Amino acid sequence: MIHPTAIVSNNAQIAPDATIGPYTIIGDNVIIGAGTQIMPHVVIDPYVEIGANCRIFQYAAIGAEPQAVKFKDEETWVKIGNGCTIREFVTIHRGTESGGKLTQIGDNCLLMAYTHIAHDCRVGRNVVMSNNATLAGHIIIGDHASIGGLVAIHQFVRVGEYAFVGGKSAVVKDIPPYVLAAGDRATLHGLNQVGLKRHGFTTSAVFQLKKAYRIIFRIGLTLNEAIERVAAEVEPIPEVKHFIDFIKSSERGITR
């Protein structure tokens, strides 16, 4: 159902059972999936694809041009997966030519009020961003990560899977998967044990991750020395391998 006060482009592709609320504006080249609900006063600019069964609340603004001086009005996109909830005043900007032309949000994400996702970000599945959390450009957020309220993340930073970033943190370096980070300049505070337990990680997997975390971050070794020691002393389960591979591939450096 499309409310009669909504302004919807003839070029938009809207599923028959999607709902468009009063005074909402839907631009050209917008795709809205089955069962998605768009509340009143939402603006969806051109080149946005929204999956099925999403809920987008009033005053959200999706698909605006990126706040980047390099942007030259090229065709770039925002793509949002299935089952996402996007609350009041959330802003999500399109990608840029140099960033892959895409800002992407995975399935089943919860973006709370006033969150901002800048150009060329890649947000994984089942991510929670609390109120006023802010992503600069080119950030990667792994699946099942949680970003606390008022968190600001520097451009090109990566946050790993199942990581938790505590509220009011400033993040300027990569945060490995499975960890807890917090602070005015974010520092690590051990594994995200509550999150890992909630997501069904085995006691054995958590134990091996604890061993790897301690060797990497707590006993004063160089990174190369620590990685060699992890290889010698920690069971090479997939979670440990991913933890180490993430750290080794960091370009910005790792939060400690």
Count of helices and strands (H, E) across the chain:
4, 27
User: Contact at 8 Å (CB) between 30 and 46?
Assistant: yes
Length of the chain: 256
**HSE-CB of 34 using CA atoms within 13 angstroms:** 0
* Spatial separation of the C-alpha atoms in residues 132 and 165, rounded to whole Å: 13
Question: Which two three-digit tokens encode residue 225?
Answer: 């020395």
In eight-state DSSP terms, residue 254 is B
> Does the active-site annotation cover 95?
no
237 neighbors 207 (Cβ within 8 angstroms):
no
Q: Give the integer Cα–Cα distance in Å for 151 and 192.
A: 17
Catalytic-role residue among 93, 119, 138, 144:
119
* 106: its two tokens: 């995975």
- Annotated catalytic residue 137: yes
Residue 153 is given by DSSP the state E
Helix (H) or strand (E) holding 147: strand 146-147
Q: By three-state DSSP, how is residue 242 classified?
A: helix
120 is catalytic: yes
* Active-site residue, from 120, 148, 166, 174: 120
CA 256, CA 218: separation in Å to the nearest integer?
9
Which among 51, 106, 137, 160 is annotated as catalytic?
137
Which active-site residues does the annotation give? 119-120, 137
